C-alpha cells in the first residue's frame, strides 16, 4: 500500500507506518511543511528506502525552497522505485523551481506518459509549453487538464492509483464508484483495463462493448477494445473494430501496429511485413524513443519473415533489433530460437554482459539466459549451457502462476466424467463436419512436423494453434474458476443436443477466418487440446484426432530449453514438466479406453525411422489418398509459426533424437521424476 500525492487517494491505513504516512500527507496538504519534514526525518532513519517517506520528505523540502535537498531525496527514491510517476512529477516541479524549463518539460512529459491522470503535471506542462512557444504541446496539456477536470474525482484518483501500479486499490475504488453512481464510461474503461491485466478477457470485452455503446467515438477505448479482441484471437472482429481508427488516422503507428498484428493472426503475413517496413522507414532519429520503437518493429518484422520462410531477411531484422537495443532479450532469443543461427564471440559477449547487468529488466534477463543456453549448446559447452538454461527456467518459474494440481485435478475429472456411457448416450450429437484435423500432445513432440506433412497434401490447409476449443472450455467452466470444484468438465453432462451442436457450429464458424485457401480439411495444432478430446468428440464426432508423441527424456528436455512466447507454464522446472508428461500419458490412456480407435498415436521416433510407412498410416487415418508431396514436405512453402519452423523446412533426420544425452549428468532428477513413464510411454 502506498499513499499517493495530493491528487490521489489511498485506502485506509492498515499498519502503524501506513498511518504515519497518511498523517504526514495531511500535514503537507495543510501547508505544515516544516512539521512534515521534522516528523518524516526520524522515520527515514528507520525505513531509509520507503518510497512514500522519501516522496513526502522531497515534497516538504521543495515547499521549503530546499530544492537541491529535494532532488537528492528523489534520486534516492528513484533507486528504490525507478520512474515512479509521483516522484517524476515532483522532480519536474523542482526543475520549475530552478527555472530549468527544458528539464521540467522532459520530466513532466515522462511522468504523464506513465500516468496520464496527474492534473498538476498537465497544468504545469500547459504553462511551460506556452512559455517557450510550444502551442501544440500546450494545447495537448490543456485538453488533458480539461478531460481530467470533467471526470468525477473518484475516477481520477482510481486512475492515478492504477497507473502508479496500485491496481488492487484502484479496482476497489472504481468498483465502489460504479456501485454508488452507476454506469460511467471512464469508470467502466478503467475496470476493463484492470481486467485486461488480470486476464479476464471475456469480462473486458463486455465492458468495452458497453463503453463504446455509450461513447462510440471514444478512440482510446476503441484501441483498447481492439487489443482485447487480439488477445482473444478474435482477429476478424478486431479488424472490423479497428477500421474507424484507421479511417480517422491512417498514418498512426499504433493503429498500423494493430493492423499488422491482426494480419499475422489471419495469416496475411505479407501485409504485416509491408506495414512493419513502412513504419520503420518513417521513424526519424529525433523521434521520442526512436531506438526502442525500431527494436520492437524489427523484432515483429523478423517474426513475420521467419514465418514465411525468408530466413536471411529474418536474421537481418533480428540483428537490427539487437543493434537498436543491445539488451533486447527477445531479439537475441529469437535468433537462438531459429535453431540454425550461430552466435559469434562479439554477440556472445554482449549477451553475457547484458544478462549480468543489474539494470537489465527480468523479462530481458530470462530471454538472454535461454539465448545463451542455446548458443553454448551449439558450441558443445554443455555445463555452461545447462547453467544458463537453469537460470532462465528458475527466473521464469518464479514469475509463473502455474499450479500442477489444477491440471491433475482436471485429468481426474475428465476420467470421472467422460465415460463410455456419456459418449454412448450422446451418439449422433454434434456437427457432422469432417473438416477439422486436430494434432495434439505435448509441445516439442513433433506436432509441427505432422502438421507440415499434412499441409503438404492438396486437400489439407495448415493454419496455426487455434484458440477456439479453449474459448469453448472457458465458456463451459464459467468466469469464476473454482479450482477445487471446477464446473468443467462436469458441465459436459448438462449439455443437451442443441447445446452440443451449437458449440460444434461455433467452432466451425470461428475457425473459418483462418481457412484462406478454401481446402476441404484444415489443421488445428493446439497441443494442449489433448485435455479436451472428450469435448472435441462430442461437438465434432467426425473430426480427425492425432496424438503426437515423443520419447519423454527428449520431449521434456526440449521443453526445458524452450522459452515459449506465452502459455506452457509447466515447462519451466524439471518437476513440473515430468508431472505434466505423466498426467498426459494418464489422460491419453483414458481416451484410448473410452474412445477406442478414435485417436491415432504417431510416435516421432517411428516417423523418423520409417517416414513413408508412417505417413501412409497418417493419411489413411485422415481418409486421404497418398501424395508424394507429403513425403517431400520440406519443399512445401507455407507459413509456420512454431519454434520448429526451420526444422520442418528440411528433410527428416535423427538430429533431434537423444539430444538430452550430452546433459545426462544434470538430468537424473528428470529421469527419477518420470519414473515408469520411461518404459511405458509408448503404451
Confidence label for 10 from pLDDT (cuts 50, 70 and 90):
very low
Confidence band for 648, pLDDT divided at 50, 70 and 90? low
Strands (E), 258-368: none
Contact 529, 437 (CB under 8 A): no
**596 Cβ neighbours under 8 A, 6+ residues apart:** none
Is residue 1's pLDDT more than 60? no
Distance CA 511, CA 431 (A): 14
Q: Cα-atom radius of gyration of the chain, to the nearest Å?
A: 28
- Name the band, by pLDDT with cuts 50, 70 and 90, for residue 643: low
pLDDT, tens digit, 9 for 90 and up, residues 386-443: 999 999 999 999 988 899 999 999 999 999 999 999 999 999 999 999 999 999 999 9
In this predicted structure, the answer to whether residue 264 has a pLDDT above a threshold of 50 is yes
In this predicted structure, the answer to whether residue 5 has a pLDDT above a threshold of 50 is: no
Identify whether the C-beta of residue 414 lies closer than 8 Å to the C-beta of residue 534. Answer: yes
Q: Name the residue among 360, 407, 424, 678 with its Cα closest to residue 531.
A: 407
C-alpha grid cell for residue 550? 515423443
Cell of 217: 467515438
pLDDT at residue 344 in the model: 96
Mean of pLDDT values over 345-365: 96
Compute the average pLDDT of residues 23-36.
93
Q: Is 404-680 the same fold as 152-266?
A: no
Is the confidence at residue 16, as pLDDT, over 80?
no
Four-CA torsion 69, 74, 80, 81, nearest 10 degrees: 170
pLDDT for position 656: 73
Burial (CB count within 10 angstroms: exposed 0-12, middle 13-18, buried 19+), residue 651:
exposed
**Overall average pLDDT of the 276-303 stretch:** 93
Q: What is the CATH number of domain 404-680?
A: 3.40.50.300
In sequence order, the β-bridge partners of residue 436 are 522
170 pLDDT above the threshold of 50: yes
Confidence of residue 479 (pLDDT cuts 50, 70, 90): low
Give dist(CA 209, CA 212) in Å, integer: 5
CATH no. of 152-266: 1.25.40.10
Cα(550)–Cα(446) distance, rounded to whole angstroms?
Answer: 7
Q: Look up residue 11 and give its DSSP letter.
A: P
Q: Is the pLDDT of residue 483 over 70?
A: no
E strand or H helix that includes residue 154: helix 153-163
Q: Average pLDDT of 200-227?
A: 95
Predicted local confidence at residue 654, as pLDDT: 74
Mean predicted confidence (pLDDT) in 645-674? 83
* Residue 571, all three cell numbers: 515447462
Residue 4: per-residue pLDDT: 38
pLDDT tens, position by position, 129-167: 999 999 999 999 999 999 999 999 999 999 999 999 999
Nearest to 449 by CA among 262, 660, 657, 670: 657
Q: CB 82: neighbour CB atoms within 10 A? A: 10
pLDDT for the residue 657? 86
Task: Tell me the pTM.
Answer: 0.83
Q: Using one digit for the tens of pLDDT, what is the confidence trace for 568-603? A: 999 999 999 999 999 999 999 999 999 999 999 999
Say yes or no to pLDDT of 9 above 90: no
Q: Is 80 exceeded by the pLDDT of residue 11?
A: no
As to burial, measured by CB atoms within 10 angstroms (0-12 exposed, 13-18 middle, 19+ buried), residue 384 is: middle
93 Cβ neighbours under 8 A, 6+ residues apart: 62, 104, 120, 124
What would the grid cell of residue 114 be?
A: 506513465
Residue-wise pLDDT for 181-193, tens only, equals 999 999 999 999 9
d(CA 197, CA 268): 28
How many Cα atoms sit within 13 Å of 132 on the Cβ side?
16
Read off the pLDDT band of 646 (50, 70, 90).
Answer: low
Predicted confidence at residue 6, as pLDDT, reads 39
Report helix angle 185-198 to 153-163, nearest 10.
Answer: 20
The C-alpha atoms of residue 100 and residue 105 are separated, in whole angstroms, by 9
Top-confidence residue, 680 or 399: 680
Counting residues of the chain whose pLDDT is more than 70, the rounded percentage is 95
CA distances from 360 to 309, 321, 424 (A): 31, 16, 57
CA dist 565 and 330 (Å) reads 9
- Say whether pLDDT at 67 is over 60: yes
Domain residue extents for the chain: 152-266, 326-399, 404-680
- Cβ distance 549 to 445 under 8 Å? yes
Task: From 527, 556, 231, select the one nearest 393 (Cα to Cα).
Answer: 556
- For residue 531, what are the contacts with CB-CB under 8 A and spacing of at least 6? 407, 410, 411, 414, 587
Residue 654 phi, psi (nearest 5):
-95, 15
Burial class (CB in 10 A: 0-12, 13-18, 19+), 335: buried
The stretch 472-499 carries a mean pLDDT of 86
Beta-carbon contacts of residue 88 (< 8 Å; ≥ 6 apart): 107, 108, 110, 111, 114
When pLDDT is cut at 50, 70 and 90, the band that residue 287 belongs to is confident
Cell 482436471, residue?
Answer: 410
**In this predicted model, which residue has the larger pLDDT, 290 or 1?**
290
Band (200; pLDDT cuts 50, 70, 90)? confident
* Span 358-365, average pLDDT: 94
User: Edge-to-edge strands of the sheet including 521-524?
Assistant: 460-464, 521-524, 436-441, 544-549, 599-603
Q: How confident is the model at residue 649 (pLDDT cuts 50, 70, 90)?
A: low
Amino acid at each position: 500500500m502506498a499513499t499517493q500525492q495530493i491528487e490521489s487517494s489511498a485506502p485506509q491505513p492498515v499498519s502503524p507506518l501506513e498511518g504515519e504516512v497518511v498523517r504526514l500527507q495531511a500535514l503537507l496538504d495543510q501547508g505544515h511543511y516544516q512539521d512534515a519534514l521534522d516528523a518524516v526525518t526520524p522515520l527515514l532513519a528507520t525505513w531509509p528506502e520507503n518510497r512514500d517517506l522519501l516522496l513526502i520528505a522531497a515534497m516538504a523540502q521543495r515547499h521549503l525552497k530546499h530544492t537541491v535537498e529535494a532532488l537528492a531525496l528523489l534520486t534516492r527514491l528513484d533507486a528504490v522505485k525507478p520512474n515512479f510517476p509521483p516522484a517524476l512529477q515532483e522532480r519536474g516541479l523542482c526543475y520549475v523551481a530552478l527555472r530549468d524549463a527544458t528539464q521540467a518539460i522532459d520530466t513532466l512529459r515522462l511522468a504523464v506518459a506513465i500516468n496520464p491522470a496527474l492534473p498538476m503535471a498537465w497544468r504545469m506542462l500547459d504553462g511551460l509549453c506556452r512559455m517557450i512557444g510550444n502551442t501544440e504541446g500546450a494545447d495537448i496539456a490543456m485538453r488533458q487538464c480539461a478531460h481530467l477536470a470533467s471526470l468525477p474525482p473518484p475516477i481520477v484518483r482510481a486512475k492515478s492509483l492504477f497507473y502508479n501500479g496500485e491496481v488492487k486499490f484502484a479496482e476497489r475504488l472504481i468498483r465502489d464508484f460504479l456501485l454508488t453512481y452507476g454506469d460511467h464510461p471512464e469508470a467502466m474503461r478503467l475496470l476493463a483495463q484492470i481486467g485486461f491485466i488480470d486476464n479476464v478477457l471475456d469480462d473486458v470485452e463486455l465492458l468495452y462493448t458497453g463503453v463504446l455503446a455509450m461513447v462510440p467515438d471514444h478512440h482510446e477505448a476503441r484501441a483498447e477494445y481492439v487489443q482485447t479482441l487480439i488477445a482473444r484471437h478474435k482477429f476478424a472482429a478486431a479488424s472490423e473494430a479497428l477500421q474507424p481508427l484507421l479511417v480517422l488516422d491512417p498514418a498512426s503507428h499504433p493503429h498500423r501496429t494493430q493492423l499488422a498484428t491482426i494480419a499475422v493472426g489471419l495469416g496475411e503475413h505479407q501485409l504485416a511485413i509491408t506495414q512493419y517496413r513502412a513504419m520503420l522507414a518513417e521513424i526519424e532519429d529525433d523521434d521520442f524513443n526512436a531506438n526502442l520503437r525500431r527494436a520492437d518493429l524489427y523484432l515483429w518484422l523478423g517474426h513475420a519473415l521467419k514465418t514465411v520462410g525468408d530466413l536471411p531477411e529474418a536474421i537481418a531484422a533480428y540483428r537490427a533489433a539487437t543493434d537498436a537495443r543491445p539488451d533486447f532479450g527477445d531479439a537475441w532469443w529469437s535468433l537462438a530460437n531459429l535453431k540454425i543461427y550461430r552466435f559469434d564471440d562479439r554477440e556472445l559477449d554482449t549477451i553475457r554482459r547484458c544478462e549480468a547487468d543489474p539494470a537489465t529488466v527480468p523479462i530481458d534477463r530470462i530471454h538472454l539466459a535461454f539465448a545463451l543456453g542455446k548458443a553454448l549448446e551449439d558450441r558443445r559447452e554443455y555445463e555452461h549451457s545447462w547453467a544458463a538454461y537453469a537460470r532462465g527456467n528458475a527466473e521464469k518459474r518464479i514469475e509463473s502462476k502455474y499450479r500442477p494440481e489444477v491440471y491433475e485435478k482436471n485429468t481426474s475429472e475428465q476420467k470421472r466424467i467422460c465415460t463410455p456411457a456419456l459418449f454412448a448416450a450422446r451418439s449422433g450429437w454434434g456437427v457432422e463436419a469432417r473438416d477439422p484435423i486436430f494434432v495434439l500432445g505435448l509441445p516439442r513432440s513433433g506436432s509441427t512436423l505432422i502438421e507440415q506433412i499434412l499441409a503438404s497434401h492438396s486437400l489439407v490447409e495448415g493454419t496455426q494453434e487455434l484458440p477456439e476449443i479453449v474459448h469453448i472450455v472457458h465458456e463451459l467452466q464459467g468466469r469464476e474458476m473454482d479450482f477445487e470444484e471446477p464446473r468443467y468438465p462436469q458441465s459436459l453432462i448438462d449439455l443437451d443436443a442443441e447445446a452440443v451442436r451449437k458449440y460444434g457450429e461455433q467452432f466451425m464458424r470461428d475457425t473459418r477466418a483462418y481457412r484462406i485457401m478454401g481446402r476441404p480439411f484444415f489443421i488445428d495444432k493446439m497441443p494442449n487440446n489433448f485435455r479436451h478430446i472428450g469435448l472435441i468428440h462430442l461437438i465434432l464426432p467426425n473430426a480427425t484426432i492425432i496424438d503426437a508423441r515423443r520419447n519423454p527424456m527428449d520431449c521434456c528436455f526440449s521443453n526445458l530449453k524452450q522459452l515459449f512466447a506465452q502459455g506452457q507454464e509447466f515447462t519451466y522446472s524439471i518437476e513440473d514438466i515430468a508431472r505434466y508428461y505423466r498426467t498426459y500419458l494418464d489422460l491419453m490412456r483414458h481416451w484410448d479406453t473410452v474412445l477406442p480407435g478414435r485417436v491415432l498415436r504417431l510416435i516421432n521416433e517411428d516417423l523418423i525411422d520409417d517416414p513413408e510407412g508412417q505417413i501412409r498410416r497418417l493419411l489413411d487415418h485422415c481418409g486421404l489418398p497418398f501424395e508424394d508431396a507429403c513425403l517431400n514436405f520440406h519443399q512445401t512453402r507455407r507459413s509456420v509459426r512454431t519454434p520448429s519452423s526451420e526444422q520442418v523446412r528440411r528433410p527428416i533426420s535423427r538430429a533431434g533424437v537423444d539430444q538430452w544425452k550430452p546433459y545426462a549428468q544434470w538430468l537424473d532428477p528428470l529421469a527419477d521424476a518420470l519414473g515408469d513413464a520411461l518404459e511405458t510411454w509408448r503404451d
